Structure 1
Amino acid sequence: MRATIIKAHLALFASHVIYAANHFIAKGIMPEKINPNAIVIFRLIGAGALFWGIKLFIKESVAKRDLFKLALCGLFGACLNQLSFFNGLNLTSPIDTSIIMTSAPTVVFILSMIFLKETITTYKILGLSIGALGAIGLVWYGQVAEGNSSLMGNFFIFLNVFFFSLYQVIAKPLMRKYHFITIISWVFLFGFVFSLPFGLKEAVFSTNYASFTVNTYLVIAYIILFTTFGTFLFNIYALNQVSPSVAGSYTYVQPAVSFIIVLILSMFFDNDTYTKDVNWVKIICCLLVVIGVFLISKTPKKTAP
C-alpha cells in the first residue's frame, strides 16, 4: 500500500514537472514556426486519437441527455481553455504562466461555491481573498514588469484557468456515471469541433511546414504525448490513490520547476532570455496564491460532541 501511495505522489510530481517544462518548450516554437491556434488543433487531433483508441476497448455508451454536458466540457475543457493558454503563453513569460496556474484550486472553489453549493468557511473566504490578491496582482504586474511579461498574455492564462475550472465543475457529476476515458474522449471530440473555426485556417493554410525542423516535430510530439496524454493518465492514476486536495497541492511544483529551469538556462546554457522574469514581486504573488490555496483546502477541525 505504501509503495502505491509513493507511486501516486511520483506520478503527480512528474505531471507538474512536465507541465512546467511545457511552458518553455511550447513557447520555443511560437509564433516563428507555428501559430498557437494551430498547435491546439494538432493537440486535439493527436491526443484525441489516442484517447479514442483506448475508448474502443471500453464498451460504454453515453445517455443522450448527457451529450450537451459533454459538449460544454469540450467547449470549456478542450477548446477555449487551450486556445487561451497557448495564445497567452505566446505573449507572456513561462514564469508568469506557471504562477497563474497555481490559482486553479481557488477558481474551482469559487465556481463550486456558485454551482455546487460548496461549504463556505472563514478559512476559505480568507484564502480566497489572499489568493485573489496574488493572482490579480501578477496579472496586473504584467503591464509594467521588465522581461517577457505581458498583461494581455497573463489575462489569457487566467482565462485558461477559469475555463478549465469551469470544465472540472461541469464534469464532476459525469465522473460518477462514466469511465474517465469515455468522458475525456468525448471532451476531445467536441473540443476539436469547436476549435475548427479558430485553428483550421492556421493549421492548413497559414503554417509553413517546409520551415519545420526535427525540433519542431519533437515539441509538437511532446505536447501531445506528454503534456496532454501522459499527464492526464498520471493524474487519473494518482487520484485513485490520494485525495483531490493532495493532488491540487502539487500545482505548487510548477513555479518552483520554472525558477529552476530559468536558473539552469542561465548558468549552464548562457541563455538569459527569462532571467528578468524572476523577481521579488512575482515571488510574493506566488506565495500569496499558495497561501490562499492552502487556506481554501484546509479542513476545519471537528468539535467534540
Structure 2
Amino acid sequence: MKKEYLAHFFLIIESLLYAGSYTVANDASTYISPFELTLLRAIFAAIIFGTFQFISVREKVDKQDLLLLAVCSLFGITISNVLFFGGLARTTPVNASLLTLTSPLFLIVFAIIARGEIAAGKLIGVLIGTIGGVLLVWGDTGLMTNAVNPILGNIMVGASAGSYAIYLILVRPLLLKYHPLTILKWVFTFGILYLLPVWGWGLTKIEWSEFNASIWIALAFILIGITFITFLLNTFALKVLDPTIVSTYIYTTPLFTALIGVFLDGDSSSLSLLIAGILILFGGFLVSQTNEIQKKEIDSN
C-alpha cells in the first residue's frame, strides 16, 4: 500500500475517532464532571507526551516562552476542554461536532480585529458559517428532546471553539521554534497546574466502583484514542500529505458523528439541522479555500 493511501486511511480513522468521541464523552460525563475529565486528560497527556519528548527530543524551552505556553494552555486545554465537555453534556453529539467547525471562523474574526482587513471570500465564509451557527444554537433541529439544556450546551461548545481558536493563534510562533512534542508536553503540564488545585479533590469523590464496563471503555477511549492515537495518525499524515489536504478531513467529522448517532442512539435530523450543517460546512470550506488561493498568489509572486 502506498504511503499516500495509508495516510488517507489514517485520516479517516482519525475522523472516526473524533466523531465517536462526541457520543462516548457524553456517556462518560454522567459519572465524571467536565473538570475532572479535563484534568484526567491533562495528566494522561502530560505523562505520555512528556515521556516521548524526553526520549526523542530533549528540547529546552526559553524562560520567556514558558509564559506564552502557560497562556496557550489556559485557552487551549483548560477553558476549551472544560467548556467542550460541559457543553457536550447538555447538547447533542451532532450539534457539538458541527459547532467545533466554527474554530476557523473565529480565527478569521480575530484576524479582522487584529489587522483590520479581510478577503471577501473569507468574510462571506464567516457570515455564512455564523448564520449556520446561530440556526444550530437557537433553531429547531429536531434533536432538542435528546439534550438536557441544548441552547446553553451549544453556546458552551461554540465558546470552546472560540477559546481553541485563540490557542491556535498564540501557539503558532512557538510551533515554528519548538518540536510539537515539546509544545504538547508543556501545555498539558500547565493544564494540570491550572486544574489540580481547584478540582483535584474531585478525583477522590468519583465513585470509581460504580463504573461499569462501558464507562471504563469510554474513559479509555477518551484518554488513549482521542488524546494519543489521533495525534500519532495526524503526525504520520502530515509527513506524507500536504497540510491543506489533512485539514479538509475535519469536515467529515460531523457526517460520521451523525451516522454514529443514528445507529447507536436513534438520533433523528430535521431540515433546520441539515441547513445549519450545510451553512457551517460551506462557510468553513469557503474560508479554507480562500486562504489557499491567497497562499498560492503569494508563492507565485
TM-score by length of 2: 0.89
1:177-256 to 2 correspondences below 5 Å? 177-205=177-205, 207-256=206-255
Select the residue among 19, 29, 34 that pairs with 1:36: 34
Contact 1:52–1:185 (Cα < 8 Å) also in 2: yes
Deviation at 1:161, TM superposition (A): 0.7
Asked if 1:49 corresponds to 2:47, the answer is yes
Q: Which residue of 2 aligns with 1:139?
A: 137
After the TM superposition, which of the residue ranges 98-107 and 63-72 deviates more from structure 2? 98-107
1:72-221 to 2 correspondences below 5 Å? 72-115=71-114, 117=115, 120-141=118-139, 146-149=144-147, 150-205=150-205, 207-221=206-220
Change over 3 Å in CA distance of 1:103–1:126 after alignment to 2:
same
Code of the residue aligned with 2:178 in structure 1: it is: Y
Deviation at 1:95, TM superposition (A): 0.9
Q: Which residue of 1 aligns with 2:273?
A: 282
Contact 1:101–1:251 (Cα < 8 Å) also in 2: no
Contact 1:105–1:293 (Cα < 8 Å) also in 2: yes
Deviation at 1:223, TM superposition (A): 0.4
Code of the residue aligned with 2:281 in structure 1: it is: V
In structure 1, C-alpha distance between the alignment counterparts of 2:173 and 2:122, rounded to whole Å:
23
In structure 2, C-alpha distance between the alignment counterparts of 1:189 and 1:92, rounded to whole Å:
29
Instruction: Give the secondary structure class of the aligned counterpart of 2:247.
Output: helix
Change over 3 Å in CA distance of 1:216–1:146 after alignment to 2:
closer
Change over 3 Å in CA distance of 1:238–1:109 after alignment to 2:
farther
In structure 2, C-alpha distance between the alignment counterparts of 1:109 and 1:231, rounded to whole Å:
26
Instruction: Give the secondary structure class of the aligned counterpart of 2:241.
Output: coil
Q: Which residue of 2 aligns with 1:268?
A: none
After the TM superposition, which of the residue ranges 128-137 and 293-302 deviates more from structure 2? 293-302
Show structure 2 runs of 5+ residues with no match. none
Change over 3 Å in CA distance of 1:37–1:250 after alignment to 2:
same
Render the CA deviation track for 1:247-291: whole Å, top value 9, x for unaligned: 3321211111122112322xxxxx43x33xx21111111101111
CA RMSD of aligned residues (A): 2.4
- Aligned residues with identical type, % of pairs: 28
In structure 1, C-alpha distance between the alignment counterparts of 2:157 and 2:225, rounded to whole Å:
20
TM-score by length of 1: 0.88
Code of the residue aligned with 2:138 in structure 1: it is: W
Render the CA deviation track for 1:113-139: whole Å, top value 9, x for unaligned: 444x49721111111111111112212
Change over 3 Å in CA distance of 1:136–1:72 after alignment to 2:
same
Q: When you count helix as a share of all residues, which structure comes out higher?
A: 2
Change over 3 Å in CA distance of 1:141–1:210 after alignment to 2:
same
